[in-house]
């Protein structure tokens, strides 16, 4: 039976563990590193004032505001994968726990796949059952404008058969009316946004689906899943356990640009929400990580995503930055962790099913096969 309320201590512990293996840095840790250089909170951008934020957008806006204060600007070469939560060690839990995973600066489908995999891992840990991931694409501005016209024609042709509530809603906001039809399960012939994607959005969606397939990430297409507000774009997705939606996410480049004008920042993220209870123990010192896993090339990235679950379930003291493309940046992050061993995988190793274990003190290297890798790492540790 699915739990309705989760102890806050358990939520925070499992969310932190998932973040470590999938390469997310807590926002609180970034803030500690930037202590002394953080600027005073500037409040929300004035450009957001005319916009109506849905509940998830409210949460993401608060995250972006805090991230803005840290003054860390991600880029395609040095993206930031950031986690955030309203659970605080030493304090009573809020009635609703919020856990967020964000990929900032990552324009590739890889960012969304890592977020989705982290959500799946967290749900499996908390509920011990397989969640359902539903995915759709709303496309870019060009697509949304095209789809809005299609919805307007759809509601105009069916104005006589629509309920009074839906007819009034369609005059106000066609996206809201479409969402209403979907909730009422009366949307069998509703136009699908994927039928109106621009070339760029279609390519992006195809890349995401291909990456999901190649990493064996379970998902289902959901033509009835839409994002109503103009702040969301391209892919939107939700995670359900049973018939209960626990997380919702989307790409939100235009939303992020309100906080970072002129930066052309790519961004995607997801918000996981669940009722919680109890107090959280004060944060204990984290055990030292033994291994930093660095990888170069798509083949290695895809394999590292699949290996993350094996490492996590076996509790290997390992961290990795899957979404960071640059080897130099990955090595810099590994240096900061000061782990005694590097696990290295390039295209050649990924295709051969192997990885290189390097002792950072002696520089001695050992080639390890992927089969049996966990046991070999545990023996070293």
Interval 341-354: pLDDT, tens:
999 999 999 999 99
pLDDT digits (tens, 9 = 90+) for 180-231: 888 887 777 888 999 999 999 999 999 999 999 999 999 999 988 988 778 8
Those residues whose C-beta lies under 8 Å from the C-beta of residue 332, and which sit 6 or more positions away, are none
**pLDDT value, residue 262:** 78
Q: Which stretch of DSSP H or E encloses residue 150?
A: helix 141-157
Q: Are 131 and 298 in contact (CB under 8 A)?
A: no
Number of H helices, E strands in the chain: 13, 14
Mean pLDDT score, 95-104: 96
Angle at the Cα of 57 from the Cα atoms of 281 and 193, rounded to 5 degrees: 130
Architecture, CATH, for domain 6-139+198-277: 2-Layer Sandwich (3.30)
Mean pLDDT score, 360-378: 94
SS (H, E, C) 120-133: HHHHHHHHCCCCEE
Sheet containing 341-345, strands listed edge to edge, beginning at the edge strand earlier in sequence: 318-320, 291-295, 341-345, 354-359, 365-369
pLDDT digits (tens, 9 = 90+) for 309-336: 999 999 999 999 999 988 999 999 999 8
103 has which bridge partners? 81, 268
**Residue 60 reports pLDDT greater than 60:** yes
**pLDDT value, residue 38:** 47
What is 291-380's CATH superfamily? Anticodon-binding domain (3.40.50.800)
Q: DSSP characters for 191-235?
A: PPGGGG--HHHHHHHHHHHHHHHHTT---EE-TT----STT-EEE
Pairing label, strands 6-7, 267-277: parallel
**Residue 91 reports pLDDT greater than 90:** no
Residue extents of the structural domains in the chain: 6-139+198-277, 141-194, 291-380
Q: Residue 312: which of 20, 11, 114 has the closest Cα?
A: 20
pLDDT digits (tens, 9 = 90+) for 230-265: 889 999 999 999 989 999 999 999 999 999 887 888
pLDDT digits (tens, 9 = 90+) for 126-159: 999 999 999 999 999 889 899 999 999 998 888 8
Burial class (CB in 10 A: 0-12, 13-18, 19+), 162: middle
CA distances from 23 to 43, 73, 334 (A): 29, 17, 11
Exposed e or buried b for every residue in 301-317, given b needs 16+ CB within 10 A? bbbbbebbbebbeeebb
Mean pLDDT score, 80-103: 93
């Amino acid at each position: 039976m699915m739990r309705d309320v989760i102890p806050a201590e358990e939520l925070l512990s499992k969310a932190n563990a998932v973040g470590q293996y999938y390469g997310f840095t807590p926002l609180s840790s970034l803030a500690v590193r930037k202590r002394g250089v953080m600027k005073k909170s500037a409040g929300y951008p004035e450009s957001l004032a005319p916009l109506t934020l849905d509940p998830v957008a409210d949460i993401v806006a608060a995250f972006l505001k805090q991230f803005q204060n840290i003054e860390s600007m991600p880029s395609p070469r040095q993206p930031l994968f950031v986690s955030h939560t309203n659970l605080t060690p030493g304090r009573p839990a809020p009635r609703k726990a919020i856990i967020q995973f964000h990929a900032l600066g990552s324009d590739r489908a890889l960012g969304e796949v890592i977020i989705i995999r982290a959500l799946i891992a967290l749900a499996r840990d908390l509920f011990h059952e397989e969640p359902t991931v539903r995915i759709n694409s709303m496309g870019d501005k060009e697509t949304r404008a095209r789809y809005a016209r299609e919805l307007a024609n759809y509601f105009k042709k069916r104005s006589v058969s629509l309920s009074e509530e839906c007819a009034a809603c369609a005059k106000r906001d066609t996206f809201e009316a479409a969402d209403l039809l979907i909730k009422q399960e009366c949307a069998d012939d509703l136009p699908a946004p994927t039928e109106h994607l621009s070339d760029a959005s279609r390519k992006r969606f195809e890349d995401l689906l291909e990456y999901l397939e190649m990493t064996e990430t379970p998902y289902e297409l959901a033509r009835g899943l839409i994002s109503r507000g103009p702040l969301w774009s391209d892919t939107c997705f939700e995670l359900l356990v049973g018939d209960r939606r626990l997380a919702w996410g989307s790409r939100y480049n235009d939303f992020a640009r309100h906080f970072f004008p002129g930066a052309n920042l790519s961004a995607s993220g997801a918000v996981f929400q669940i009722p919680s209870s109890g107090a959280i123990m004060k944060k204990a010192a984290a055990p030292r990580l033994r291994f930093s896993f660095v990888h170069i090339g798509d083949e290695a990235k895809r394999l590292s995503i699949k290996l993350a679950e094996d490492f996590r379930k076996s509790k290997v003291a390992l961290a990795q930055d899957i979404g960071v493309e640059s080897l130099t940046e990955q090595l810099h992050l590994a240096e900061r962790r000061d782990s005694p061993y590097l696990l290295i995988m390039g295209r050649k190793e990924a295709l051969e099913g192997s990885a290189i274990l390097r002792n950072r003190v002696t520089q001695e290297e050992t080639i390890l096969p992927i089969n049996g890798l966990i046991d070999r790492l545990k023996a070293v540790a």
